[in-house]
Amino acid sequence: MKKRLSRLYFYLVLLFLYAPILTLVVLSFNNNKSRAKWGGFSLRWYNELFHNATMMKALWITVSVALIAALISTVIGTVSAIALHKCRPRIRKALLDVTYVPMMNSDIVTGVSLMLLFAFLRIERGFLTLLLSHITFCIPYVILAILPKLYGINMSVYEAALDLGATPFKAYTRILIPEIMPGIISGFLMSITLSIDDFVISFFNTGHGVQNISILVNSSKKVGINPANYALSALMFGAVIIILLIMNFKDSKRSNVQ
């Protein structure tokens, strides 16, 4: 009985989490603009999405900012994690406390702080400030994803490579980086997710004519949600599912090989 209740609770949680997303996907194929009435199956909103210049521009900005911010924050986060791992415990703890401040702060505090910083430096808000703000809040998450991998590896292999004549750079790239690669990939994917999901920090650090999907959807609430947003969200959800399936397939294949 207890096992059945636990399973029922698990299914109810899944239903609570995914029912809104499934509803959104269904509405993306509704020919009727009303959410309360089914007008038949149609690809009307997908067609409108690809012919909507504003939405396609917002999608391009969202994807480009997410990929560039994830790439830069992953490089900086990887180097920072390796440096923190080599620090003394007291110094490492102090630096980690500072590093995790953006994660502990609310988004509005981080967003306003960055906005004031850009205003102080007289940097005009636009694509650059949006990108810099996303890099800023993604770096701590990359460090958090990589550090546990560094704690779990055997550093004697790296030291043996140095003793055998390898340069520090070659030892890092041939020995250390492959060992922490799962953490690097996790940090990269987490950065993409956080960048696409963010609204508050983006809202305070973007300029006129530069808006990502979250800002576009928020601004469209004043005039009513365009059903093309359902189509866009459904495509993004499908892309995430495909990426997860590919990653799980590769992980299972690697486990079978080992």
Domain shared by 250 and 164, yes or no:
no
Is 107 domain-assigned?
A: yes
Tokens (6 digits) for 222:
């004043």
Co-location of 121 and 166 in the same domain: yes
Cα 148 from Cα 213, distance rounded (Å): 33
Which residues span the domain enclosing 246? 227-258
Q: What is the pLDDT of residue 120?
A: 92
Q: Does residue 83 lie within any of the structural domains?
A: yes
Amino acid at 219: S
Instruction: Give Cα separations from 105 to 12, 100, 112, 115 (angstroms).
Output: 32, 9, 11, 15
Q: Which residues pair with 30 in a beta bridge?
A: 41
* CATH code for the domain of 168: 1.10.3720.10
71 and 149 inside one domain = yes
Angstrom distance (rounded) from CA 31 to CA 40: 5
114 inside domain = yes
Q: Is residue 110 part of a domain?
A: yes
Q: How far apart are CA 244 and CA 193, in angstroms?
A: 12
Q: What is the CA radius of gyration of the chain?
A: 22
Residue 16's Cβ-side half-sphere holds a number of Cα atoms within 13 Å equal to 6
The token duo for 34 is 């009303």
Q: Which two tokens stand for residue 87?
A: 């620090």
pLDDT at 241 exceeding the cut of 70: yes
The strand pairing partners of 41, in sequence order, are 30
Residue 151 sits in the same domain as residue 257 = no
Q: Clarify whether residues 112 and 194 are in a common domain.
A: yes
Of 112, 124, 126, 130, nearest to 68 by C-alpha is 130
Cβ(134)–Cβ(198) below 8 Å: yes
CA–CA dist 69, 137 (Å, integer)? 10
Q: Residue 41 has which token pair? A: 């199956």
Same domain (yes/no): 176, 131: yes
> In terms of domains, do 190 and 130 share one?
yes
- Region 91-109: what's the mean pLDDT? 84
CB under 8 Å, gap of 24 or more: what pairs does 245-250 form? 247/189
Report pLDDT for 87: 83
Asked if 212 and 257 sit in the same domain, the reply is no
Q: Is residue 80 domain-shared with residue 184, that is, in the same domain?
A: yes
pLDDT digits (tens, 9 = 90+) for 110-125: 899 999 999 999 989 8
Statement to judge: residues 135 and 188 lie in one domain: yes
Query: What was the pLDDT predicted at 92?
Result: 83
What's the pLDDT score for residue 212?
A: 86
Query: Can you list the positions of beta strands (E) in 46-186?
Result: none
Residue 15 lies in a domain: no
* DSSP code per residue over 209-223: T---HHHHHHHHTTT
Q: Is residue 81 part of a domain?
A: yes
Is 240 a member of any domain? yes
> Over 80: is that where the pLDDT of 162 sits?
no
pLDDT of residue 67: 93
Query: Based on the domain organization, do 127 and 243 belong to the same domain?
Result: no
The answer to whether residues 129 and 180 belong to one domain is yes
Query: Model confidence at 142, in pLDDT bands (50, 70, 90)?
Result: very high
- For the chain, how many residues are written? 258
Residue 169 lies in a domain: yes
Count: domains in the chain: 2
